[in-house]
Structure 1
């Protein structure tokens, strides 16, 4: 409580504090009594505390994962306690391990004073100012592919998609959108970023374009998303198949038409 008051006095912001025996539960505790609360989850009470809570309590479980779990009759953490880890991994990949462990209050991640990766981004500066939307979209697609490649290599997915634009007069604009489920797929990053780019292409010439993802969480780069939209799932499987070909034959082995320069 003293620390929270000191932060409010010096910086002017309210904080809530959570204390527990691992990172996951400390974060859950910090959400219990906002905006200026202080909550503790003891090791002995972990199982009883978690049992009745919804699966959305688990970090990284968004709307689509909730719907997928609900179809299997899993809506509360108590339901996860009846699930076998191998079955969860088979259906949800690396997320299955997290579901199994976090439901039981297990989190082996270390608390480190060194900042973790907060975002993955890529940007390019053009040789000359560009206002043509088609040209900018081709550049955006390549940036999204680069961001996706780095995210897959790191095993991280982002829930927030951001684009950055800078004019020759160094005027900068950033636009962001948040997804229901985190993604590391170039197609989904591009689909979220493209409308923002189109809205900014109203005659201004741009010197720099960037794209990125943030609000990161662990993800399996070889597993298609748990999405109810079959079209999205097909796109994801196609992209993952292309990734395997690129890994085997080189990054230029397979390319999408939208990234190619159009001949006049």
Structure 2
């Protein structure tokens, strides 16, 4: 059975004094734009854009710092309303999800489109957020539909018009096709999905390998992935942008520690652990450097994250000046397997006990009540 799916995006707060004004979420002159309302986007402001550039493009914009607690609260409220429609809700991020509405017509006594229209109005009325909806017969097309008519859009791509709809779209409409790949395809005369549709799958695979098969299927709107409500997070990370570029290893390591504590806290709260650690650095010229290290066992511990991140950082701290550092974990697993006894590392048990004691004190007295010496050193900077 083909699922009826939609993608939802919550993009704009309806605070009365901010309504109809350009709003940018970000901060400082060295940071980047986390997001921006559609009025600010008219001036060219985009997510991940350097703040100094966003200020130039839209000098009249109101700039507010991110408030993750508020976003998470609103996200949970929206998720609860989604679950009233169907238990098959697969979150993609804090403001986006897939829903499978197959077979819900009798339950709600309305078509999926009617149910979604009522949901959008209910979210706007009860949570104060506007949403854009894409409705189609698979994830690939639902995601495309959700981006067609924002803000407050509602677009439908039916099965019958799938081929004709995709035919005129550029090859970059397909997931995984970036600028370099699209330029390579263009050299072979392939610029639209319609041209891909006219080719045999075996010819595309012979020319482009696995990518060719991927192109052939998505150009025809084929996507067999199901909506998985138990889909786990693929990674958990945190990063910070400096006011002044940093080159010294010790200074970078000081910035790394509170990020490790933040990622560790998120893992512990979610009952998860990470099987690998990845380090992210951004140079003064905006070049991104990513490094990854696999762990012997999954971890939740800030100390383990820090030791792994510091090892990778030491190789990159060669005099290059960096404007951003980040740390994260991948290979997400259940916390039941996290941080086992390690006979080859006799200090591991003590480090685990120390961190557990710190967590217990913080749970009673607050986050700032206790910490390690390197954390206090960071706060004095």
TM-score range, shorter chain: 0.5 to 0.7
SS at match of 1:163: strand
Q: Equivalent residues in 2 for 1:87-126 (5 A)?
A: 112=228, 115-126=231-242
Q: CA deviation at 1:135?
A: 1.4
Q: CA deviation at 1:129?
A: 0.4
Q: Equivalent residues in 2 for 1:183-262 (5 A)?
A: 183-220=299-336, 225-228=340-343, 229-261=345-377
Residue 169 (1) aligns with residue 285 (2): yes
Q: Deviations over 1:115-134 (max 9, x none)?
A: 42000000000011011211
SS at match of 2:292: strand
Q: Deviations over 1:238-264 (max 9, x none)?
A: 101110111110011111111233779
Q: Distance in 2 between matches of 1:136 and 1:252?
A: 22
Gaps of 5+ in 2: 1-200, 212-225
Identify the match of residue 12 of structure 1 among 209, 231, 238.
209
Identify the match of residue 255 of structure 2 among 125, 139, 160.
139
Q: Distance in 1 between matches of 2:336 and 2:229?
A: 26
Q: CA deviation at 1:220?
A: 4.3
Does the Cα contact within 8 Å between 1:139 and 1:259 map onto a contact in 2? Answer: no
TM-score (norm 2): 0.39
Q: Distance in 1 between matches of 2:258 and 2:347?
A: 22
Does the Cα contact within 8 Å between 2:341 and 2:348 map onto a contact in 1? Answer: no
RMSD: 2.8
SS at match of 2:238: strand
Q: Distance in 2 between matches of 1:240 and 1:171?
A: 37
Q: CA deviation at 1:224?
A: 5.6
SS at match of 1:252: helix
User: Which gives a bigger RCO, structure 1 or 2 (Cα 8 Å, sep 6+)?
Assistant: 1
Q: Distance in 2 between matches of 1:12 and 1:155?
A: 39
Which residue of structure 1 aligns with residue 170 of structure 2? Answer: none
Q: Distance in 2 between matches of 1:117 and 1:12?
A: 29
Q: Distance in 2 between matches of 1:127 and 1:261?
A: 18
Which residue of structure 1 aligns with residue 220 of structure 2? Answer: none
Q: Deviations over 1:28-72 (max 9, x none)?
A: xxxxxxxxxxxxxxxxxxxxxxxxxxxxxxxxxxxxxxxxxxxxx
* Structure 1 pair 112–206 and aligned structure 2 pair: CA distance change class (3 A): same
Does the Cα contact within 8 Å between 2:232 and 2:332 map onto a contact in 1? Answer: no
Q: CA deviation at 1:226?
A: 2.7
Does the Cα contact within 8 Å between 1:242 and 1:254 map onto a contact in 2? Answer: yes
Q: Distance in 2 between matches of 1:225 and 1:253?
A: 28
Does the Cα contact within 8 Å between 1:138 and 1:260 map onto a contact in 2? Answer: no
Q: Distance in 2 between matches of 1:196 and 1:232?
A: 20
Higher Rg of the two aligned structures? 2
Which residue of structure 1 aligns with residue 47 of structure 2? Answer: none
Q: Deviations over 1:192-243 (max 9, x none)?
A: 110111111111110000000000100049x862322321011011101110
Gaps of 5+ in 1: 1-5, 15-109
